[in-house]
Structure 1
């Protein structure tokens, strides 16, 4: 079995893309991945297997799309599914990011691939459940029992190898994956009655129940020799106890192999005993972004037992020492870029790149397109250093940069409004760094890859729009408690970092109780909160000394009220309205967590400041440009690009190696678990 996972539209090599397209990087440039290189590696592995007298199958564990600029062509060109066909993948499954454009969007992506010369790969999804309403177009493509070959998605699937081995496949959307797929609605996955997706234990138990009948049917009805789960659930060697794919291996009987995805892990082959059958189940995951190919060697014995060759089961790096020599794949990639640069958006005269660069550079224009890739790699800013994003459970320079850009966008003179706070989560940032590469220029495609996710619930256009809404100061503290508590329970994606505010937290304190008093200074781990002084905010000064830059708003050590009417610990009214900008993704999760969004009159003129947003619908709070500038939504990648383009050169405060870039400076851990007692990162 040859496998990858979480390719995330990375058809061009990483490190950065501008160094690999349109001219491929030379060996030693530091580029990883790229579909053409992966094709060469896969072919070499297949040829080696054939020479050894072995069969081979090539599979993916999902999240084939959403992560690079080429994803914009998903519903028209469908480059990700077409590339899987060109690379001779036999089957894939659905990950949470396949649903970023909603069920109807996924149906359109599949339809575009199906209409192409390459076609659409086989897709297996065993624990998917349809509402039959706005997901009807996707449901129409689903064949639950593998009896209709005209449909591309199957509840189970069987492939017979050239030597006659029958391999059965199931596809699993894991508990964490479905919890971070809000755009999948109304489609659901394994959700127990009365439960919500944040109850991971209950959802995982439901996954066991949902997929077991498919495994049993493959064994009983299809008489397969081998059962493989393509599982978008996750496996982490540093936290095996909370790794969903290990739990699936131990609790779903009849599985032989789990090809894991979702956690972006380097997880070499490891065997786990099934608790019901005592059989070994092999679990392996091959990194992310196509930077590795996994190989699993196994033998189906005459007595129907499975023998694993652990020494030959390994992860194979895909690097620039392999020439990207697959002409068909290179043609697909080049054609996709050309479509983004030249093909008009339906109903418009401009291409996506012309339109997007126009929004970013306004009132200037990007100029005429001279060569393929000129718009794709448009130099947004000079980048003299890497902007780091490599650490979990920590503030990073990249998250600081993104939140600063969003806050600047929401305070643009063109909008004529004031916004106090921006926040972003670690899980929404999709690259380990913005890399300076060989050119020292940050191309638009590489910037886009940092924040590529989602789509608009209003317009259907790609990319999460910014939303602007009010919440109480006490709710700001509760949001920071997500970083201080929930993120440390295995949910690092929800490590929130602000701009406009900063906070200290102590993980030796008891976690925040959402059912308790949110104004109680002893409820939770956040011990201090500061807000930018108005003059600093107006000047775009987002960091600096406390005395000149920050106003203290909360201090849990203050047992005596600071003023009459204020609860102890609060130096400002905890019911003061704070004006927030965040992506639709973050705003959606805020509502799922019980936050009640409040209207801001200057962007919701029919409502007064502080009144509830109708239906608590974050889509009602989407931030738009003034009507004179088209009234269009502001996408996160647009705010980031506009902010950096205005800077010209990326400022030193985002350089990890520069004293100005020292972190943490906004999400600061103190106490016994901190790397520095006065303020550092938390060890747990």
Structure 2
């Protein structure tokens, strides 16, 4: 019996620990500083006319942001934190690409990722705009950056899955298999083990233009599973989520009082194992973090390098405590990093040579002048109307259609009002041609009846009230009247076709014979094509060509793509 007891004891000692939670304690409290950005959107220059951005000098322009200035501030705050004895991380919440002329060559250069490596990012979430060039295009971007830098920030993609039967995501999956893209990552630094997760939120996935065969998994369930695995099986001291989910406080994306809502708040609420959320997607500057469960801060640093967030936390043997937070503005008081500026100048020259020159343009070429700020705000009519007019005129259509969500920038007057090619490109930069690699969503022209026009107006005018101001419609060539107090999706009672110069005429909403030409991008055309689904069967639209024949593939209606 004694021998059996000894054998049993040995067995228990050897094997039972394999099933016990793996806990690594730290003997003393460590302070960690987390620097973070999100939604950089290829915004390497500042806000304001690009010709006025002067990173080589200070206090002589009104532009804000700029990656070279961001680089300087990162190095300053990193040095200060290290001098105070802190462990330091630099993280990003996704959408580092797409939005300016710089993204036109990103598949060839990986320029945004190279810059993030240059300034020392530890990890970066993959956001929805990383897929604007498709999974294949993202793979090209990453590969180009690796060919130049070899050592990139860790790219986090925790809740997207590959399709084994479709080759459309194979190159991206190969990078995942190599560990360039990871479902989670563990950083060991100064005695701390820190687990990192990178998520795509529901809304971000919904608006992803070119998903390819990738599949989406619930971010809350994914985070719960990975956070427990990281803490219980890998012994991390803290879990940080880089979440491209977003925050808001009502359906219009406005904050009410001190309350924040949205996907990132819900994530922190549902998964208490998470110790901090570095947010993105909604482009929201949060000066005072929302603290969930009395210890989990939810953060976001605006967008496009206008801010750098700095979170300080204490990681102790028994608990993790929030200490402080600061949202640092970035403006002309900060000199730009010279090495970063030089690299950006090289990119500008390459954009002119490889992209713009064939159309007779240069990156810095003056092309327009404004006498006041023209903004993308839904209640500022001028810019949205100008873009809708341009779409209608280019297609020679009765009606031009766009929405606030695809208008990505303002034309800011600055000190001179002069706008360059690079400024104007930023107004509608998203997407890619169907039959060429030219940037921008293809332009299409379809034909609808009066009742179908009413259906489009009903759904779009309802969507922005439910989904937020990015869905706010912009039209050219028509005006309409609606009563918001009527039943939802039955508000429009009058439509007029025309323009201010020639005048407008009312159309018969019951007319099922007359066809009206509508110009729009294929991105919006895809939504119009599924109007029946979006309105839960209350409205339907049959897209037609000029002869009235039904068209099932909107790509057949492309006139510039």
> What corresponds to 1:577 in structure 2?
515
Q: Deviation at 1:256?
A: 0.7
**Structure 2 CA distance for aligned equivalents of residues 164 and 216 of structure 1:** 20
Work out whether 1:397 is the aligned partner of 2:415: no
- Find the residue that maps to 1:113 and give its secondary structure: helix
SS of structure 2 residue aligned to 1:266: coil
Which residue in the other structure is 1:619 paired with? 555
Residue of structure 2 in register with 1:529 after alignment: 495
Instruction: Specify the alignment match of 1:673 in structure 2.
Output: none
2:93 corresponds to 1:61: yes
1:456 is the counterpart of 2:433: yes
Cα distance in structure 2, aligned partners of 1:597 and 1:39: 51
After the TM superposition, which residues 280-291 of structure 1 pair with which residues of structure 2 at under 5 Å, given as runs? 280-291=295-306
- Describe the shift of the 1:466–1:25 C-alpha distance in structure 2 as closer, same or farther (beyond 3 A): farther
State how 1:534-683 maps to structure 2 within 5 Å.
542-543=499-500, 549-553=503-507, 570=509, 573-594=511-532, 596=541, 598-601=543-546, 609-613=547-551, 616-624=552-560, 633=561
Give the drift of 1:575.
4.9
Q: How much does 1:115 deviate?
A: 0.5
Cα drift, residue 578 of structure 1:
1.8
The aligned counterpart of 2:452 is 475
2:131 to 99, 121, 128: 99
Contact kept? 2:194, 2:236, Cα under 8 Å: yes
1:510-560 per-residue CA deviation (whole Å, 9 max, x = no partner) reads 211xxxxxxxxxxx122321111xxxxxxxxx335xxx6111126xxxxxx
The alpha carbon displacement at 1:388 in A equals 2.5
Cα-Cα RMSD: 1.9
- Flag the structure with higher helix content: 2
* In 1: Cα distance, 2:161 partner to 2:517 partner: 38
Within 5 Å, which residues of 2 pair with 1:304-323? 305-309=319-323, 312-323=324-335
CA distance in 1, matches of 2:272, 2:514: 54
Offset of residue 264 of structure 1: 0.6
Moved over 4 A (4+): 23-26, 239-242
Aligned to 1:196: none
Report the CA distance shift for 1:593/1:491 in structure 2 as closer, same or farther (over 3 A). Answer: farther
Q: Distance in 2 between matches of 1:593 and 1:245?
A: 29
* Structure 1 residue 111 displacement after superposition: 0.5
Counterpart contact for 1:246–1:272, Cα < 8 Å: no
Q: CA deviation at 1:592?
A: 3.4
Distance 2:224 2:435 in 1: 38
Note the 1:222-371 alignment, pairs <5 A. 222-237=234-249, 238=255, 242-273=261-292, 278=293, 280-303=295-318, 305-309=319-323, 312-324=324-336, 326-342=337-353, 351-357=354-360
Q: Distance in 2 between matches of 1:188 and 1:460?
A: 25
Q: CA deviation at 1:440?
A: 2.6
RCO higher in 1 or 2 (8 Å CA, sep ≥ 6)? Answer: 2
**Larger strand proportion of the pair:** 2
Q: Deviations over 1:36-65 (max 9, x none)?
A: 100111111111101111111000000001
Matches within 5 A, 1:122-133: 122-132=154-164, 133=166
Report the CA distance between 1:425 and its aligned residue. Answer: 0.7
Report SS of the residue matched to 1:57.
strand
Q: Deviations over 1:490-509 (max 9, x none)?
A: 33221111101111223222
CA distance in 1, matches of 2:151, 2:382: 41
1:441 aligns with 2:418: yes
Alpha-carbon separation, structure 2, partners of 1:241 and 1:44: 30
Is 1:142 matched up with 2:129? no
2:107 match: 75
Structure 2 CA distance for aligned equivalents of residues 35 and 209 of structure 1:
35
Quote the offset at 1:28 in angstroms: 4.7
CA distance in 1, matches of 2:542, 2:437: 22
Instruction: Tell me the TM-score normalised to structure 1 length.
Output: 0.72
Would the aligned equivalents of 2:243 and 2:279 in 1 still touch at CA under 8 Å?
yes
Note closer, same or farther for the CA distance 1:377–1:118 as it changes in structure 2 (3 Å cut): farther
Q: TM-score by structure 2 length?
A: 0.87
Does structure 2 retain, via aligned residues, the 8 Å contact 1:596–1:612?
no
- Counterpart contact for 2:160–2:214, Cα < 8 Å: yes
Q: 1:423 aligns with which of 401, 407, 419?
A: 401
Structure 1 residue 452, shift from structure 2 partner: 0.8
Residues 146 and 152 of structure 2 are in contact (CA less than 8 Å); yes or no, is this contact kept in structure 1? yes
1:471–1:580 CA contact under 8 A, matched in 2: yes
Are 2:206 and 1:179 equivalent residues in the alignment? yes
- In structure 2, what is the equivalent of residue 348 of structure 1? none
Deviations 1:94-142 (A, max 9, x none): 1110010111000000100110136432111111022242111111111
Distance 1:474 1:25, change over 3 A: farther
Rounded Cα–Cα distance in structure 2 between residues aligned with 1:591 and 1:280: 46
Q: Does the CA-based 8 Å contact 2:308-2:328 persist in structure 1?
A: yes
Tell me, which stretches of 5 or more residues in structure 1 are unaligned? 144-149, 191-205, 343-350, 358-365, 367-374, 412-418, 513-523, 533-541, 555-569, 602-608, 625-632, 634-684
Count of residue pairs brought into register by the alignment: 512
Q: 1:186 to 1:79 in 2, by over 3 A?
A: same
Per the TM alignment, residue 255 of structure 1 is displaced from its structure 2 partner at its CA by: 0.4
CA distance, structure 2, for counterparts of residue 54 and residue 290 of structure 1: 24
Q: How many angstroms apart in 2 are the aligned matches of 1:395 and 1:586?
A: 21
Q: Do the aligned residues in 2 keep the contact of 1:19 with 1:25 (CA within 8 Å)?
A: no
Structure 2 segments unaligned to the other structure (5+ residues): 1-33, 250-254, 533-539
1:50 and 1:268 mapped to 2: Cα distance?
23
Cα distance in structure 2, aligned partners of 1:316 and 1:86: 21
Q: CA deviation at 1:229?
A: 0.7
Contact 1:61 1:261 in 2 (8 A): yes
Q: Is the 8 A contact 1:101 1:462 kept in 2?
A: no
Q: Does residue 377 in structure 1 map to residue 364 in structure 2?
A: yes
Which secondary structure does the structure 1 equivalent of 2:433 belong to? coil
Tell me if structure 2 keeps the 8 A contact 1:599–1:610. yes
Question: CA offsets per residue over residues 622-673 of structure 1, 9 Å max, x none?
Answer: 113xxxxxxxx3xxxxxxxxxxxxxxxxxxxxxxxxxxxxxxxxxxxxxxxx
* Of 178-187 and 23-32, the range deviating more from structure 2: 23-32
Contact 1:482–1:496, Cα closer than 8 Å, also in 2 = no
